[in-house]
Amino acid sequence: MSTIYYHTKKREWYQCEETNSLFFGKVNTRISYVGSKQDHSLPFSVKRVGKQVGPLVGILTGSSKDNTFIGNFSVLKNILKSLKDSGALGIVITPNSIRDFQAVEGFTFYQPLQKWIKLRTPLPNVVYNRVPYRLLEKSQPFIEISSLFKANGIPFFNPYFFSKWKVYQILKKNKFISSFLPETVLLKQKRDLEQMVIKHHDLYLKNTAGHKGLGLYRIKKDKTTFVVETANEKQIYPSLSSFWEKNEKVFVQEEFILQKAIQSDKFNGRRYDLRLLCHYNESGHFISGIGVRVAGDHKVITHVPNGGTIIPYKSVRPRFNETILQQLVYEIGKELEEQTGEFIGEFSIDLGRSLDGAIFIYEINSKPMVFDEEDIQKKGLENLTKLLIMKGTKA
C-alpha cells in the first residue's frame, strides 16, 4: 500500500514515496513526487503494484440541480468504503463530470472527515453505471460520456437498463434457456392481446421498461368477464375491448409485452419467487445470493413495498435444483454479453417454480436493487468490489 495526497487548493495529486513518480488512472497520469506532506492535503491509502497505484474506479450516477449528484447515498458510501478497504480509490461521477477529456470531477466520501468532498482525478480505470433512471440514459450528456469511456477502452458496466422484450428475444435463441421462458409476445395491437387471452386464459401484461410492479397487469378470463389486477387494485371488465379502450393510449405510446402466467408454486398458501443476485468473475457469471419474496394476500406481485414479505431461502431450497440455477445464470450472462457486445458485470433474475415443479424465468434486471438480506448485501458488495478491481487492474 502507498499513500497519495490530494491538494484541495491546487486540486492536484502528489506523493512522497517515489522520486521517479507514481501513476494512476486509465492514461497513467503522473503523480509527482514532493519531499513532504503539504498543507491543505488529504491522504489516501491505495494499493501499489510497481509504480502503478489504484485502480481508480468511477461510479456513474445522475447530476443534481446543485451540481453534485443523485442516487442512494448509503449504497454509494458502502461501495466507496469497500473499494477503499481493498486499496482502490472510488469516485462518484456524473455525465457532467468530464473536464478537457483527460480528467473528471467527482466526489468521494472521505471517512476521516465523515463528509463528501470534491476531487479532480484522471479518467478512471473502470466505470460502474449506477445511473438511477432510464430517461437519464437517453440524455446527450450520458451518451457522450459513455462513448468517451468506450473510446478510451475503459470497461463500462452495466451499459444500460434492460428492455424486457429485447432480453426475451436474446435468451429465446439459447436452446437451454428457452425452455425456462414463459411464452412472450410483443403487444402491437388489440388482436395480440385477444389471441394470448384465448390461448392461455391467464397472462401478464408488462411495460418493457417497468419496475417495482409499475406498468404490470394480470389478466384472467373468467367465463364472460375479464379480471384485471395491478399492484394496487382489481377491476372486472365485461370485455377485452372495454379494457383496451380504457388503456389504449398507454399501450400504443409505450412498449408492452404479453407473457403467459405461470400457475405458481406456493409457500403457506401464497405464491413466491426467487431473486438471484449474479456477478461475473473470470470463470463466468455466478450466483452471489438468493432471496425469496412471498406475495401478500390477493396480491399480483411479490415486491415488499407492495405487501410482499421476505422468507429465508432455506425455507424453499429443497424445491430447487441449484445446479440448474447456476447453469442458467452462467448461460444467461454469456448470452447477454455475446448478443449485446457489452460487458455485463452484474444482473438479477426473478424466477419461480410452477405447481408441477418446472422453473420459469420471469425477468432479468441489469441494475439490481439492494437486497434486504444482510448476508446477500455483504456477499454482493464483496463480489462487486472484486470485479471492479479486477476489471480496473486489467484495463
**CATH number for the domain that contains residue 295:** 3.30.470
14, β-bridge pairs:
5, 32
**Higher pLDDT, residue 213 or 162:** 162
- Choosing from 236, 260, 284, the residue where a domain stops is 260
pLDDT band at 303 (very low <50, low <70, confident <90, very high): low
380 within domain boundaries: no
Collapsed DSSP state (helix, strand, coil) of residue 21 = coil
β-strand pairing of 98-99 with 89-93: unpaired
Verify that 295 and 242 share a domain, yes or no: no
48 within domain boundaries: yes
Q: Residue 163 and residue 186: Cα distance in Å, rounded?
A: 12
The reported pTM is: 0.94
Contact 293, 309 (CB under 8 A): yes
CATH number at residue 226: 3.30.1490
The number of residues in the chain equals: 395
User: Is residue 305's pLDDT more than 80?
Assistant: no
Which residues 6+ apart lie within 8 Å of 195 measured at CB?
none
Residue 73 CA, distance from chain mean position = 16
Cell digits for 330?
452462467
Verify that 59 and 93 share a domain, yes or no: yes
Q: In the chain, pLDDT over 70 holds for what percent of residues?
A: 96
pLDDT in tens, 347-373: 999 999 999 999 999 999 999 988 999
The closest alpha carbon to 207, from 131, 134, 297, belongs to 134
Verify that 189 and 203 share a domain, yes or no: yes
- What's the burial of 27, exposed, middle or buried (CB within 10 Å: 0-12/13-18/19+)? middle
Verify that 79 and 122 share a domain, yes or no: yes
CB count within 10 Å of CB 222 equals: 10
Collapsed DSSP state (helix, strand, coil) of residue 388 = helix
> Which residues form the domain of 206?
184-260
Q: Residue 105 and residue 93: Cα distance in Å, rounded?
A: 7
Verify that 143 and 75 share a domain, yes or no: yes
CB count within 10 Å of CB 352 equals: 20
The closest alpha carbon to 190, from 233, 168, 213, 219, belongs to 219
Cell digits for 88?
482502490
390 within domain boundaries: no
- What's the burial of 288, exposed, middle or buried (CB within 10 Å: 0-12/13-18/19+)? buried
User: What does pLDDT average to over the chain?
Assistant: 93
277: left (phi over 0), alpha (psi -120 to 50) or beta: beta
383, 169, 228, 190 alpha-carbon torsion, rounded to 10° = 160
Q: Residue 371 and residue 291: Cα distance in Å, rounded?
A: 8
Q: Residue 304 and residue 295: Cα distance in Å, rounded?
A: 8
The answer to which of 216-220, 293-297, 339-343, 383-387 has the lowest mean pLDDT is 293-297
Collapsed DSSP state (helix, strand, coil) of residue 163 = coil
Residue 101 CA, distance from chain mean position = 27
Question: Grid coordinates 468504503 are at which residue?
Answer: 81
Into how many domains does the chain fold? 3
CATH number at residue 143: 3.40.50
Question: Position 168: which residue type?
Answer: Y
Q: Is the peptide bond before 55 cis (omega within 30 degrees of 0)?
A: yes
Verify that 127 and 199 share a domain, yes or no: no
Verify that 28 and 130 share a domain, yes or no: yes
Verify that 249 and 282 share a domain, yes or no: no
pLDDT in tens, 15-61: 999 999 999 999 999 999 999 999 999 999 999 999 999 999 999 99
User: Is residue 276's pLDDT more than 90?
Assistant: yes
165 within domain boundaries: no
195 within domain boundaries: yes
User: Is residue 343's pLDDT more than 90?
Assistant: yes
Which pLDDT belongs to residue 304? 58
- Choosing from 260, 294, 311, the residue where a domain stops is 260
User: Is residue 306's pLDDT more than 60?
Assistant: no
375 within domain boundaries: no
Contact 202, 227 (CB under 8 A): no
First vs last C-alpha separation in the chain: 20
Residue 208 CA, distance from chain mean position = 16
Verify that 100 and 79 share a domain, yes or no: yes
Which pLDDT belongs to residue 181? 98
Collapsed DSSP state (helix, strand, coil) of residue 98 = strand
Long-range contacts of 16-25 (CB under 8 A, 24+ apart): 18/51, 20/51, 21/51, 22/48, 22/51, 22/52, 22/53, 23/51, 23/52, 23/53, 24/52, 24/53, 24/54, 24/55, 24/56, 24/89, 24/122, 25/54, 25/56, 25/121, 25/122, 25/123, 25/124, 25/125
Verify that 188 and 294 share a domain, yes or no: no
**Higher pLDDT, residue 233 or 239:** 239
Verify that 146 and 217 share a domain, yes or no: no
Contact 68, 107 (CB under 8 A): yes
User: Is residue 98's pLDDT more than 90?
Assistant: no
Q: Residue 272 and residue 226: Cα distance in Å, rounded?
A: 24
Verify that 69 and 216 share a domain, yes or no: no
- Choosing from 260, 287, 312, the residue where a domain stops is 260
pLDDT band at 302 (very low <50, low <70, confident <90, very high): low
Average pLDDT for 110-128: 96
CB count within 10 Å of CB 302 equals: 26
Which pLDDT belongs to residue 369? 86
